[in-house]
């Protein structure tokens, strides 16, 4: 394969990251698409509500273990190397799931698949964030979150199609085996793509990192171009500053220190937990059987409606691409949380009324909940931690955030079948209250990252103490390689000397 450069190279990186996120979304939806099929229930001795929760949620325990594994190894393996090993682990898990003939094998294989996915969900956002410019970093991560949304209807329609074979286990084995298609594509292309230049610099591979910066810039760029040298030197300066603090230790991530590590870990974990405690996977993991058990729809009609909802979810999740950099992370997160709270209130009311008309209004507000979730909580949750963590502890900080995500996911998915049966409409009141609480939390504590480079965020945290943030608007500063000739003259002067700049607020 000829060497890719510029937009083609960035597109290839985005494509592989997108496949990894598409696989993540597919995995979240595939069990819900097959768990109600007669052939699946017959194969695994008609699992009760508790066992349904175990089979579904044990995957999230695997993802949690994968995130912890990434915490311990990814700084050594690299971003790209970690994704390679995570994908191979998923290959093993997929083979074991597809061939499962008893509950124990299915449970163990879902843990193995989850470990691989946990490794990938830590490293994919970091690799992409460290390979893209600040003015399109958020938009590219929106595309990845949209592909998570695409995974849901894809798994649902795959389950619907194969469910027409009512007599054999093919109906549920094929949708699970289909994960392998994504994994083969990822593993085939990954060797031709570069490692994160920021990771390379942090491991003293400066010349290689400079070449990667030039490749990412375009075919005409060279390692001696001023814009490439400036970008390299900016990352070098950040790495040198972090090294002045001393060698990183395991405990450093959990201490404040000059880099405010624990503050960033806590803030980075927050959006991941908001993602889960919004109630999204109370619906997403069991969407078809939610429609069956809450409003009495048939299995096939439930799968059709769940698939249509997923397609709409995917289409709407592209909208933040057009405004997330201008509006900023904070505004889209707060508006999304407020809208999700309203939808959960209406879902609860409709289930309480329990008429034919209210049942279909329940479906309508479920559609609306997914749409509102997709424009704010979904994209921000997967980009925020990688944007605020210092390079020195970025992998470990993001890994801790992702591990919080998967632990929360496990709790939500495990209790959902039991909660639907025992709490009914009251369950959705709990989700409404949690979503409402995200609005003041975000307003008071979360600094804005939009239009700020990863190195700019270091300055933000150096200038603010943990508590109520003053950084509430998207940044105005552009990186040198993003500037027009006139903007460079304004900033660097006619003689190339840097002019005084306003501090980041």
Whole-angstrom CA distances from 347 to 56, 315, 321, 428 are: 24, 22, 28, 7
Q: Which of 124-128, 293-297, 348-352 has the weakest average pLDDT?
A: 293-297
Residues 6+ apart with CB under 8 A from 31: 55, 56, 59, 110, 285
What's the confidence (pLDDT) of residue 84? Answer: 95
Q: Could you give the C-alpha distances from 65 to 25, 52, 177, 225, in angstroms and in order?
A: 19, 21, 22, 43
CA distance 332 to 153: 24
Do 26 and 97 contact (CB within 8 A), yes or no? no
Average pLDDT over residues 120-136: 80
| pLDDT above 70 coverage of the chain, percent | 90
Out of 286-300, 395-409, 431-445, which region has the weakest mean confidence (pLDDT)? 286-300
pLDDT band, residue 164 (cuts 50/70/90): confident
With 80 as the cut, is the pLDDT of residue 1 above it?
no
Provide the pLDDT for residue 249: 66
Report the chain's C-alpha Rg in angstroms: 23
Q: Give the per-residue pLDDT at 493.
A: 40
Read off the DSSP letter of residue 499. Answer: P
Other CB atoms closer than 10 Å to residue 107's CB: what's the count? 19
Helix (H, G, I), strand (E, B) or coil at 227: helix
**Taking 50 as the threshold, does the pLDDT of residue 5 lie above it?**
yes
pLDDT at 482: 46
Q: Is the pLDDT higher at 287 or at 106?
A: 106
Report pTM: 0.75
| Predicted pLDDT at 369 | 96
Give backbone dihedrals phi and psi of 204, rounded to 5 degrees, phi first: 65, 25
Lowest-confidence pick of 89-98, 358-367, 385-394: 385-394
Q: Residue 135: pLDDT band by 50, 70, 90 thresholds?
A: low
- Comparison of pLDDT for 267 and 49, the residue scoring more: 267
Per-residue pLDDT band for 478 (boundaries 50, 70, 90) equals low
What's the average model confidence in pLDDT over 400-429?
A: 86
| Residue 141 to residues 317, 334, 348, Cα–Cα distance (Å) | 11, 18, 32
Give me the mean pLDDT over the 285-314 stretch.
79
Q: What is the pLDDT of residues 44-100, one digit of tens each?
A: 888 887 888 788 888 889 999 998 898 888 778 888 999 999 999 999 999 999 999
**Chain-centroid distance, C-alpha 403:** 12
Whole-angstrom Cα distance, residue 379 to residue 102? 37
Give the pLDDT score at 342. Answer: 97
When mean pLDDT is compared over 210-224, 328-342, 381-395, the highest value belongs to 328-342
Range of weakest confidence among 81-95, 375-389, 426-440: 375-389
If one counts every other C-beta atom within 10 angstroms of the C-beta of residue 245, the result is 14
177 — pLDDT class (breaks 50, 70, 90): very high
pLDDT at 248 (0 to 100):
64
Could you write out the DSSP letters of every residue in 406-418? HHHHHHHHHHHHH
C-alpha torsion 49→55→57→58, nearest 10: 140
Sign of CA dihedral 224, 225, 226, 229: negative
Q: Is the pLDDT of residue 465 over 50?
A: yes
Q: What is the mean pLDDT of the chain?
A: 83
| pLDDT of amino acid 486 | 46
| Nearest to 303, CA basis, from 156, 499, 496, 169 | 156
Window from 108-112, 333-337, 359-363, 445-449 with minimum mean pLDDT: 359-363
Residue 203 reports pLDDT greater than 50: yes
pLDDT of residue 272: 92
For the stretch 212-258, pLDDT in tens is 988 888 878 888 888 888 888 888 887 887 777 665 666 777 888 77
State yes or no: pLDDT of 143 exceeds 50: yes
* The pLDDT of residue 278: 95
Has residue 505 got a pLDDT over 50?
no
Residue 492 has pLDDT above 50, yes or no: no
């Amino acid at each position: 394969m000829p060497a890719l450069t510029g937009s083609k190279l960035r597109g290839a990186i985005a494509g592989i990251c997108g496949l990894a996120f598409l696989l993540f979304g597919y995995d979240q939806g595939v069990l819900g698409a097959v768990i109600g099929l007669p052939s699946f229930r017959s194969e695994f001795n008609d699992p009760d509500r508790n066992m349904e929760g175990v089979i579904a949620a044990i995957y999230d325990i695997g993802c949690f273990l994968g995130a912890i594994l990434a915490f311990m190894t990814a700084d050594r393996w690299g971003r790209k190397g970690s994704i390679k090993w995570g994908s191979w682990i998923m290959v093993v898990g997929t083979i074991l799931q597809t061939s499962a003939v008893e509950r124990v094998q299915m449970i163990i294989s879902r843990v193995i698949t989850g470990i691989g996915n946990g490794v990938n969900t830590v490293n994919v956002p970091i690799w992409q964030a460290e390979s893209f410019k600040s003015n399109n970093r958020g938009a590219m991560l929106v595309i990845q979150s949209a592909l998570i949304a695409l995974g849901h209807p894809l798994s649902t329609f795959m389950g619907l199609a194969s469910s027409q074979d009512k007599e054999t286990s093919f109906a549920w084995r094929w949708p699970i085996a289909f994960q392998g298609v994504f994994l083969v594509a990822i593993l085939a292309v990954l060797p031709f793509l570069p490692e994160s230049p920021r990771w390379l610099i942090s491991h003293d591979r400066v010349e290689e990192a400079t070449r990667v910066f030039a490749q990412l810039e375009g075919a005409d760029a060279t390692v001696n171009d001023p814009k490439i040298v400036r970008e390299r030197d900016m990352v070098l300066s950040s790495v040198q500053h972090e090294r002045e603090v001393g060698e990183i230790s395991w405990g450093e991530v959990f201490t404040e220190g000059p880099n405010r590590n624990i503050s960033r870990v806590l803030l980075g974990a927050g959006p991941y937990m908001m993602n889960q405690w919004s109630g999204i996977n109370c619906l997403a993991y069991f969407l078809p059987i939610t429609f069956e058990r809450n409003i009495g729809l048939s299995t096939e009609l439930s799968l059709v409606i769940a698939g249509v909802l997923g397609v709409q979810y995917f289409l709407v999740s592209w909208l933040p691409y057009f405004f997330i950099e201008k509006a900023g992370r904070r505004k889209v997160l707060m508006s999304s949380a407020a809208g999700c709270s309203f939808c959960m209130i209406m879902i609860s009311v409709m289930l309480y009324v329990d008429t034919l008309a209210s049942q279909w209004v329940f479906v309508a507000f479920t559609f609306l909940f997914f749409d509102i979730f997709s424009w704010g909580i979904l994209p921000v949750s997967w980009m925020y931690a990688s944007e605020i963590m210092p390079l020195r502890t970025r992998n470990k900080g993001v890994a801790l955030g992702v591990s919080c995500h998967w632990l929360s996911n496990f709790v939500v998915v495990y209790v959902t079948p039991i909660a639907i049966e025992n709490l009914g409409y009251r369950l959705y009141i709990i989700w409404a209250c949690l979503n409402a609480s995200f609005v003041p939390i975000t307003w008071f504590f979360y600094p804005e990252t939009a239009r700020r480079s990863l190195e700019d965020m270091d300055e933000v945290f150096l200038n603010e103490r943990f508590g109520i943030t003053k950084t509430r608007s998207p940044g105005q500063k552009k990186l040198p390689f993003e500037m027009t000739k006139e903007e460079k003259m304004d900033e660097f002067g006619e003689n190339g000397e840097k002019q005084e700049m306003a501090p980041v607020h």
